[in-house]
Structure 1
Amino acid sequence: MLKRAFDLASACLLLLLMSPLLAVIGSLVWWKLGTPVLFRQVRPGRNGKPFELLKFRSMKDRRDENGQLLSDEQRLTRFGIWLRSTSLDELPELINVLRGEMSLVGPRPLLMEYLQEYDSEQARRHEVRPGITGWAQVNGRNDLDWDERFRMDVWYVDHQCFSLDIKILVRTFMTVLSRRGVTAKGHATMPPFRRVETVEH
């Protein structure tokens, strides 16, 4: 109850205080990347329930001759890289917090297609609302491999409390300022997750 009340109050206050910044970023996205200004994608929320994630767009809609989207590396621009490195692209997710689809703190919402890839332990990350930031994000961000990220997500599920959320929010501010772990090594964003099957002999 306290967590939800804190999320609501914080999201309302931040949206109000940052409305001029949101307007400026939205205008820059429109100018440099075109429309739509917001990136919308269905992601799994608490208990895997789908919701529409909102972010500022950071990539161009570049496609090959067959109409297929090009790779992230080919669609990212210098402006988009800057948006991601500062985490300003995440600000519209405050609307998801207001809607009750997300929390300020929790495991990051990933792709719907990953639901079928998780083992039973990894799937526990969906026992709580996904967050704008989380334990994995302040402990390596995209420098972590998938197993490490999921272990930290489940650790958060087991240890979540108000004081831990405050600690994560403070550390998030420092992480964003340092711009560490924005991308995975050798990738423009993060490589896709695929379950590694163990073979019995």
Structure 2
Amino acid sequence: MYRNYIKRILDVLLSGTGIVLLSPVYLVLWVLVRSKLGTPVLFKQDRPGKNEKIFKLYKFRTMTDARDGNGNLLPDEVRLTSFGKTLRATSLDELPELFNILKGDMSLVGPRPLLVKYLPLYNEFQRHRHDVTPGLTGWAQVNGRNTISWEDKFEKDVYYVEHLSFWLDLKILFLSVAVVFRHQGVNSGTDATMEAFTGTKPENKE
């Protein structure tokens, strides 16, 4: 009942309420991002959702468009400004995803939607992360976020899929607040966020 009906009802109610209450914050962030990082203010990117259906994810941009002499974008670490780092550390860059939740592309809680280019790299076990709607926050995010390995991340994503419940969602939401306030796990230690997934697959699980 919760997985198929109540979870979606709560997503609509909470995301809609959040958008209304946070409308002044959206306005302030829109002005700040436009003045400090330029346009477009929103970062839009295709991401795979439930059953690998592609949708357009919205976030506030956190990087500049700085390029080298040949016109190529500089590495993320160079284009990520101190202002952008603050947006990421506080997760304010992800506030536009409430609109994705309201539309039904995402849920408040679920495995984070990753890049489309990773789809061919998943093994059968990892692919189960797409059996549910992706989330604004998830079990992997409150257990290391970008500091854990891809294998650990997928293990936690599939754990969530197999144990999805109201109480687990509630626990993740409370833990997410703590993670954001402590600015935990934003950087991997060797990259601006998380190293790219290259398809290194753990032993397949039944």
Please classify the TM superposition score into its range, dividing by the shorter chain length.
Answer: over 0.9
1:137 counterpart = 2:141: yes
**Pairing partner for 1:122 from 123, 126, 133:** 126
**One-letter identity of the residue aligned with 2:18:** L
Question: What's the TM-score, normalizing by structure 2?
Answer: 0.94
| Helix, strand or coil at the partner of 1:138 | helix
**Superimposed CA distance per residue, residues 39-87 of structure 1 (whole angstroms, 9 cap, x where no aligned partner):** 0000001111100000000000122233322211011000000000000
Provide the rounded CA distance (Å) in 1 between the counterparts of 2:138 and 2:29.
Answer: 24
Output the CA distance in 2 between the equivalents of 1:41 and 1:98. 17
| SS of the residue 2:98 aligns to | helix
User: 1:4 and 1:28, CA in 2 relative to 1: closer, same or farther beyond 3 A?
Assistant: same
- Whether 1:177 and 2:181 are equivalent positions in the alignment is yes
Q: Give 1:54's aligned residue.
A: 58
* Match status 1:102 vs 2:106: yes
Q: 1:150 aligns with which of 150, 154, 160?
A: 154
> In structure 1, what is the Cα distance between the partners aligned to 2:83 and 2:201?
39
CA distance in 2, matches of 1:53, 1:126: 16
Secondary structure in 2 aligned to 1:70? coil
Distance 1:47 1:182 in 2: 27
Unaligned runs of 5+ in 1: none
**TM-score (norm. length: structure 1):** 0.96
Aligned twin of 2:91 = 87
Percent sequence identity is 54
Q: Which runs of 4+ in 1 moved over 4 A?
A: none
SS across alignment from 2:56: strand
User: CA-atom RMSD, angstroms?
Assistant: 1.0
Secondary structure, in 3 states, of the residue corresponding to 1:42? strand
The answer to whether the aligner puts 1:63 opposite 2:89 as a matched pair is no
Cα deviations by residue, 1:13-58 (Å, 9 ceiling, x for unpaired): 0001000011101110001001000000000011111000000000
Contact 2:147/2:194 (<8 A) preserved: no
Cα-to-partner distance string for 1:121-148 (whole Å, 9 max, x where unaligned)? 0010000010000000001111111000
Q: CA deviation at 1:186?
A: 1.7
The aligned residue for residue 16 of structure 1 is 20
Q: Supply the distance in 2 between the matched residues of 1:6 and 1:189 (Cα, whole angstroms).
A: 30
The equivalent of 2:34 in structure 1 is: 30
Task: Decide whether the 8 Å contact of 2:45 with 2:57 is kept in 1.
Answer: yes
Q: Is the 8 A contact 2:47 2:56 kept in 1?
A: yes
* Alpha-carbon distance in 2 for matches of 1:45, 1:17: 26
CA drift of 1:197 comes to: 6.4
Aligned residues: 198
